[in-house]
Structure 1
Amino acid sequence: MDEPTEPTSQARGPNGKWLYTPESARRDAEAAELRARGWSYRRIADEMGVDVHTAHTAVQRALRAIVQEPAEEVRTLELERLDLLYVAAVEVLERRHVTVSQGRIVYEGDQPLADDGPVLQAIDRLLRIQERRAKLLGLDAATKTQVSAGVRYEIVGIDLEQLR
């Protein structure tokens, strides 16, 4: 959770920065409850003995906490599902595949001809699972997009000949 920019309760850590304490969380929740009742930030600030900015910050921190906890649970569940899919894809990758044509195994000499198709598909699936995992965890670096365009000015309502 974000470190408070201003304290809702007086608590400093050993490094001099404000600590987010259980008391801070309780005060943030109280501010959010008052806001949910329709109170203005000014009224919340007066009630809690803080300035309007601190009251607003407290409410926003509480709202982020409310959203963040369920999001973390969903993220964990999705990662567990991806783990199961990954294991299944690895099993396909490691399995021996033979080429079949018209319902019969194709032989090369006296050995069944290996079929690389399922292996390559399993590799593709593993890469897609890894991409999804990286996206969920935020591991991919942001990509820069460059947009270039020209600007064209059009003068309307003026006779260019009169300007010369």
Structure 2
Amino acid sequence: MARRATEEDQERRTEVMRLKRQGQTFEAVGEQLGISRQRAHQLYWDTLRKIPVQEVTEYRAEQAERLDEMLRRAYEVLERKHITVSNGKVIYHEDQPLEDDAPTLMAIKTVLAIEEQRARLLGLNAPVKQQIGGEVQVTYSFEGVDMEGLR
């Protein structure tokens, strides 16, 4: 009985990893496997912690390649000229097609999201440890309390 549960758990972990490698969200993974988003997240990170260093390195490289491709496509959108269209017609301003900034702004947002993901993947967002020094003196003041009566 316990062996079957272990096999099912391993199959589920394998499926979580496969779906995440395809770019699925934890919510989508959970829905497909009949588990919660939180459980899918937990299985994913528990599995990653157990993977040997070489496999983690390969996984990071694979994910970095995926991010590179997405970034390349986002830059293509960013560099393209976008024309404003409304109800199937090009909008003109002073006899020139009016440029639409929305796709450019969305591409910028996408580039930033991809770069943030890359930074997390490569561990570039590690918290900076800061030490604050110096002497601090704190004085407490109590109002409405008879300090002499407390002594």
Q: Matched residue of 2:52: which SS? A: helix
Equivalent residues, number: 81
- The runs of 5 or more residues in structure 2 that have no matched partner are 1-48, 130-151
Q: How does 1:1-164 map to 2 (within 5 A)?
A: 67-142=52-127
Please identify runs of 4+ aligned residues in structure 1 that moved more than 4 A: none
- The runs of 5 or more residues in structure 1 that have no matched partner are 1-63, 145-164
Counterparts of 1:66 and 1:108, CA distance in 2: 58
- Change beyond 3 A, Cα 1:87–1:66: closer
1:84-110 alpha-carbon deviations (Å, 9 max, x no partner): 100000000000001000000000011
1:4-39 alpha-carbon deviations (Å, 9 max, x no partner): xxxxxxxxxxxxxxxxxxxxxxxxxxxxxxxxxxxx
Q: Which protein shows a greater Rg? A: 1
Counterparts of 1:102 and 1:66, CA distance in 2: 53
Counterparts of 1:101 and 1:86, CA distance in 2: 28
- Change beyond 3 A, Cα 1:81–1:66: closer
Aligned-residue CA RMSD in angstroms?
2.0
Higher fraction of helix: 2
